[in-house]
Structure 1
């Protein structure tokens, strides 16, 4: 069982199944919502139990972002498919997870460089984002 929460603790969640390795997303939306790139894992939607009120923002026609209405913590990205993305920084340690790669690198901010030697793709990459450990 993996646990996580927002900064103030008003929203908590548990994950009863496996988590995907962490993927760093450099898309414009992730950078705008977080102030930097986002590092996220994911799990089957039915394995995630959420307690507390999550505010959902429809960020694009096919996706929405979930955050705490009290402290503003970014918690989830919910798009098409069977998995719910979970912002890795909201997980309680230890997670045992590692970053496996970077997506949407074409949108990378001009103030940093991705130099960790991990796989980098210009846009979406199902081979990275559908892995579940």
Structure 2
């Protein structure tokens, strides 16, 4: 029997940590206006099943911001690292830069390219979607 892979991650200051026991989705690059404003550019995110995710926040530094009527964004209140996107569904998104390396992940697509900034081009040859693949 194969063991489920374990991935770990943390914020910049290390106060908020997490563990994922199981597979992570490929990374997608999100160009939506909310991700750009929160991160300062685009967001590289992966996803996992909620029941595979464990958050360690012994000091209560995790802050959740309700960014829309259906989703919230999680960040460390101490160092400001933006870490998660969550719509309370069966899965959640993890900002790929918060993962400890090596991740073994690869980027598979760009989403919300209709909202991308006008100051850069996407030239990596990966699929691009105006919104998300299920809606494009």
User: SS of the residue aligned with 1:84?
Assistant: strand
| Cα displacement (A) at 1:126 | 3.5
Indicate which of 3, 7, 12 corresponds to 1:2: 7
What runs of 5+ residues in structure 2 fail to find an aligned partner?
A: 1-5
What runs of 5+ residues in structure 1 fail to find an aligned partner?
A: 128-133
| Cα displacement (A) at 1:80 | 5.0
| Cα displacement (A) at 1:97 | 0.2
Q: TM-score, normalised by structure 2?
A: 0.91
Runs of 4+ with deviation above 6 angstroms: none
Residues 46-66 of structure 1 deviation map (CA, whole Å, 9 limit, x = unaligned): 111001131000000000000
Indicate which of 101, 107, 110 corresponds to 2:109: 101
User: SS of the residue aligned with 1:60?
Assistant: coil
Residues 5-60 of structure 1 deviation map (CA, whole Å, 9 limit, x = unaligned): 00000000000011000000000000000000000000001111001131000000
| Cα displacement (A) at 1:81 | 2.8
Q: Distance in 1 between matches of 2:7 and 2:132?
A: 26
Higher radius of gyration, 1 or 2: 2
Q: Distance in 2 between matches of 1:46 and 1:100?
A: 24
Match of residue 131 from structure 1: none
| Cα displacement (A) at 1:125 | 1.9
In the alignment, structure 1 residue 81 sits paired with structure 2 residue 95:
no
What do you get for the CA RMSD once the two structures are aligned? 1.1
Indicate which of 93, 113, 127 corresponds to 1:119: 127
- The answer to which of 118-127 and 99-108 deviates more is 118-127
In the alignment, structure 1 residue 29 sits paired with structure 2 residue 34:
yes
Number of aligned positions between the proteins: 127
Q: Distance in 2 between matches of 1:89 and 1:100?
A: 16
